[in-house]
Amino acid sequence: MPTGWATPPGIPEGALDSIRSEFIKQWRDLTESAVSRQLPAITDRRFASPAWSANPSYLMMAHFYLLSAKSMQRMVDASDADQDMKERLRFSIMQWLDAMSPANFLITNPDAQETLLKTGGESIVAGMNNFFADVQKGRITQTDESKFKVGENVATTPGSVVFQNKYFQLIQYKPAASTAYARPILLVPPCINKFYVLDLQPENSVVRHTLAQGFNVFLVSWRNPVPEDTDGIEHATWDEYLEDGVLKAISVVQAISGQSKINTLGFCVGGTMLATALAVAAARGEEPAASVTLLTSMLDFSDTGVLGVFVDPQQVAMREQQMGHGGLMTARELATTFSFLRPNELVWNYVVSNYLKGETPPAFDLLFWNSDSTNLPGPFFTWYFRNTYLENNLRVPGKLDCAGVPVDLSKIKIPAYLYASREDHIVPWKTSYLSTQVLGGAKRFVLGASGHIAGVINPPAKNKRSFWTAQNDQEHTTANQWFDQAIENPGSWWNDWTTWLAKQSGRKVKVSAQAGNKYYPDIEAAPGSYVQVRAV
């Protein structure tokens, strides 16, 4: 950073002087270390290969890049911009800095150069082939997709589709034993992704684990609308997804199980939809659920984390003009947005390995699922975009009318299990905690380690990570107050949840091996046909 730089607008002169002085001092220290061949090691995994430390010039380049990046981020922090603008600046600078890392270019990446020499140039040929294959797909390959097939080695839990309409298929899973808890559970995954994040491979399947604990499990498999559809799905609204989606699924499960009340679970956007649907039912004087579980879901959108950089009145208005009356929010655009929330992990890491080094990414079921994105009907998306992320209307009792009735989440007075992930970058855990303030029944809030998906998909057999709970489910006004007295427990939260769920599920009864009933017969085997439709 040259000492003659003028003060950028919005940064106090004193703050800039401090940043400048610190930069110069650290630059001199690095230069002295380089001369004496004692440059410190770098912990950033982009520069972890021995090829970087083996060459002082490349190691110095990496140090200079990291020092410059740190200084730019400090400039944003020192600016007198408001908090929203600072978040947008941080995000924009992060995108630029991550893209400009010397690790991303062959000419400045000694590890990729070493691979080139070792393979006699074959790595570049393989990398170009990988690049052109991804251009054809329109996305970066994050896993060896040839190793997975839906219904064969992911989404394999036995079951039957027992209902379908133009919005979803309902799957009833085969019970794990001859008896199960009388009250079944309905799983409502997000319609922004395929359902099988909850049914990956047998060893990490939420569905299989829940069945094994003695529960009768139903699941919503949302339709993936594509441009070729001719039944008007591209005009589907938020209200239709509540009325003909969530509430219809609940009524079918009631009819098949013979239970007037069922347990329910919503994941991410599925949790927002489920809670809204239950509030609609409450406004109609109905209480079809005995309990509700919300996994990494938001009901109060006061702080949407990094996703907030995409939300402003102009952006929402543009989307409404584009697709508010019909059309699709494409899977490709949604997937790109989510990938660039963590560009080093989900973009540039693969640019280096796939293209510069010509490697084939390892097979990983979670990343295969992540690549299997879905389109969304435009009217549904724009309603959600405005009323949650932009205006945060859902938390205000009576502010919204959904499916013809005013929505008040406090009218949901059933027991609620609320799970959040501590490192979640999509649903900040402190925002998820705000659900305790808007729901009307008894709440159990649980905080798991790791991120949005990895924190949820944490089978007990692996004995990984940990989770936090409050003694006697004591409630607090703020998330920080809750965490200060929370107890950390080793391992997975799954068994904690099923123990809680058993208390909401009645006694165990004999169950039929026959799926559905005379009104809702077996249509086809799980995972069904809707999940097989891929967005292009």
pLDDT in tens, 164-177: 999 999 999 999 99
Residue 463 belongs to a domain:
yes
Q: What is the CATH number of the domain that holds 495?
A: 3.40.50.1820
Q: Are residues 91 and 164 both part of a single domain?
A: no
pTM for this prediction? 0.92
Question: How many folded domains does the chain comprise?
Answer: 2
SS3 451: coil
Q: Give the closest residue to 306 by CA, choosing from 193, 431, 191.
A: 431
Q: Are residues 312 and 209 both part of a single domain?
A: yes
Residue 108 belongs to a domain:
no
Which tokens in the block code for residue 148? 């997975």
Q: Give the closest residue to 192 by CA, choosing from 154, 232, 225, 240.
A: 225
Contact of 41 with 53, CB cutoff 8 Å: yes
Residue 335 belongs to a domain:
no
Considering 11, 66, 180, 268, which one is annotated as catalytic?
Answer: 268
Final residue in a domain of this structure, among 96, 122, 139: 96
Q: Are residues 84 and 188 both part of a single domain?
A: no
Residue 366 belongs to a domain:
no
pLDDT in tens, 439-493: 999 999 999 999 999 999 999 999 999 999 998 877 888 999 999 999 999 999 9
SS3 content of the chain, % helix, strand, coil (to 5): 45, 15, 40
Q: At what angle do helices 13-35 and 56-78 cross, to 10 degrees?
A: 170
> For residue 16, what pLDDT is reported?
86
Q: Are residues 92 and 168 both part of a single domain?
A: no
Contact of 59 with 103, CB cutoff 8 Å: no
Contact of 71 with 23, CB cutoff 8 Å: yes
Contact of 87 with 23, CB cutoff 8 Å: no
Rounded CA-CA distance 33/50 in Å is 18
Q: Are residues 196 and 293 both part of a single domain?
A: yes
Q: Are residues 82 and 213 both part of a single domain?
A: no
Residue type at position 163 = F
Final residue in a domain of this structure, among 48, 73, 96: 96
The whole-chain average pLDDT of the chain stands at 93
Residue 368 belongs to a domain:
no
Q: Are residues 208 and 281 both part of a single domain?
A: yes
Contact of 264 with 274, CB cutoff 8 Å: yes
Q: Are residues 163 and 89 both part of a single domain?
A: no
Phi/psi of residue 455, nearest 5 degrees: -70, -35
Q: Are residues 279 and 407 both part of a single domain?
A: yes
Q: Of how many residues is the chain composed?
A: 536
Q: Give the closest residue to 218 by CA, choosing from 5, 536, 535, 511.
A: 511
Residue 113 belongs to a domain:
no
> For residue 15, what pLDDT is reported?
84
pLDDT tier at 2, thresholds 50, 70, 90: very low
Final residue in a domain of this structure, among 96, 116, 141: 96
Residue 301 belongs to a domain:
yes
Q: How far is CA 224 from the centre of its chain?
A: 18
> For residue 127, what pLDDT is reported?
96
> For residue 5, what pLDDT is reported?
43
Q: Give the closest residue to 458 by CA, choosing from 298, 278, 295, 294.
A: 295
Residue 211 belongs to a domain:
yes
pLDDT in tens, 402-427: 999 999 999 999 999 999 999 999 99
Q: Are residues 403 and 490 both part of a single domain?
A: yes
Please state whether the peptide bond connecting residue 527 to the residue before it is cis, i.e. omega within 30 degrees of 0: yes
Domain range for 72 is 13-96
Q: Are residues 170 and 70 both part of a single domain?
A: no
pLDDT in tens, 161-219: 999 999 999 999 999 999 999 999 999 999 999 999 999 999 999 999 999 999 999 99
Q: Are residues 402 and 314 both part of a single domain?
A: yes
Residue 402 known to be catalytic: no
